[in-house]
Structure 1
Amino acid sequence: MTQRHHGSVIEVDGLSRSFGDLKAVDDVSFTVPGGLMTGFVGGNGAGKTTSMRMIMGLLATHAGEVRWDGRPMTAADRRNVGYMPEERGLYPKQKVLDQLVYLGELSGMTPGSAKAAVMDNLARFGLEDRSGEKVEKLSLGNQQRVQIIAALMTTPDALILDEPFSGLDPQAVDSMVDLLREHTARGIPVLFSSHQLELVERLCDRLVVLAKGRVVAAGTVSELRSGGPERYRLTLGGDAGWVRDHRGIHVHDVDGTTALLEFVDAGARTSLLRAAVDRGDVVDFARQVPALSEIYREVTA
């Protein structure tokens, strides 16, 4: 029986990969700590899938190294990683239960424990009555659920999931999130990519943002937020257009009575508020916490 790891860390150090003249991944480094969910975000062609394939040993690296608990990651380590590829790998003509039990046995489970794990996971996704159906008869969303079960059912030491939420309805997303949290509660590293920034913001403990093959930001959502400029929303009783002419501030937007702005010079905040009070009512003045989508647009611009 393979020794299980808890609180393990995946370290990606200087990974690079080219396809012809295209540098798909360029000196990418980040960590995936145990017990945390790390979101991997970036546009199409940013290098997420290529990076994940290199972590899994499915694609040779041209430079760099992947480490598991401080040592080079081996094929044996990778066999204990639950991996969900972008191009799904199910056999369309095979029945759901047979296929999942077979995949469980391939990873070293006994037929009995594989079947028990499969039925438990099928029930969690509301698919127990589909266990005898061929995969090709399922909707795309249900095929996605089956693929997720294949990655999760072996109690893996780490999870690497490429777009695991695509094609899932909100209820299935919630079931998936509950499952992932059970795995992080065991102390394992979880890395998943997603285009759905709102979902990443809700789920992730940490983020790695990729653009054109390079890491452009990494950290917790709050760290990424605090690294950006401080913006404030000022709402007045009358038209806010005059704030554009006030010294020491940078105005991002004025919409009627509301202005979104940054303070460039020390003291500008006090002088602006004093000027606003002199002109009439200050209805509201508050720091704006940027959404992840705003941070993402800034770091990938």
Structure 2
Amino acid sequence: MLIRYTSWSGTKRVVLEPDRLFEELSKRLTGTDDLDEALDQVLRDRAGHTFGERLGLEELLAAVRDRMRDLATQFNFESVFDEHRARLDELLDLERDEVARVVDPNHQNRLRTFLQRLPSDVRETIDRLIHHAFLDDNAQQGFGSALNDREDLERIGRFVERHGGRFRGKQHPSFEQALEVIEQVDALQRLEDALFNREFSAVDLDLVERWLGAAAARAIAAMRSMIASLSDSGLAARKGGKLVLSPKGARRLGEQALREVHEQLRLDASGSHALERFGNHDVELTGTR
């Protein structure tokens, strides 16, 4: 599932060098064996520190779904075909007037019956008229315009069949506006899939900034940067949809854990103790004399 990738104009990013990033990850891997979850925790903490707003994967997914709900409460597709229905009715009136002038009564009756039996559905009407030999030139020209919209009408129709019941807002979009709303909903659904599957490199950050705000775009850019950093340094790779430690990363994690144990043992052996400061003096709270 891909979203068109473009360059992003955002400037301030959440960036960590590979070694520092791995150090941050190792701290969080003590509480989970899920590298993706640990990376998400790093993102939240770093974003909160840098931008004052904690944005992790859960918050980003919630923002996408909120945006889709906003569209559903804003727009209503009940009358989306009315414009084309009116245009078809107008050209069919012209055609009926021309049919009434046909001299041959049998031919006239066949044409009149055909026009009377046209369905009410706009898409079906267009399909039935494709092979009709129009008698009125203006009707023929008008039908050509409607036929050019057939693919977009089908797209709108499929969308209404799947999601129309959820769109109960007060704003009735025009044909062109409806296509824009559908394009946005489709893109948001692809974004939701990309985030859910952690395919951050497939996300169009310009669209994210436009629809979800700069903070969301920065957060996704940060996650993309972090994963690229781990991958480029050979510490982790994505396999089967999950981010996993490489053999090099696993060794580094083990070495870091050993260093922490040795450091703790060294501190214990040297008798280091907690200090509490009172005024200008350091007062030892625990330990032997």
Judge same fold: TM > 0.5, yes or no.
no
Query: Which protein has the larger Cα radius of gyration, Structure 1 or Structure 2?
Result: 2
Question: Normalising by structure 2, what TM-score?
Answer: 0.25
Name the one with the larger helix percent.
2
Using CA pairs under 8 Å that are at least 6 residues apart, name the structure with larger relative contact order, 1 or 2.
2
Q: What is the TM-score normalised by the length of structure 1?
A: 0.24
Higher strand share: 1
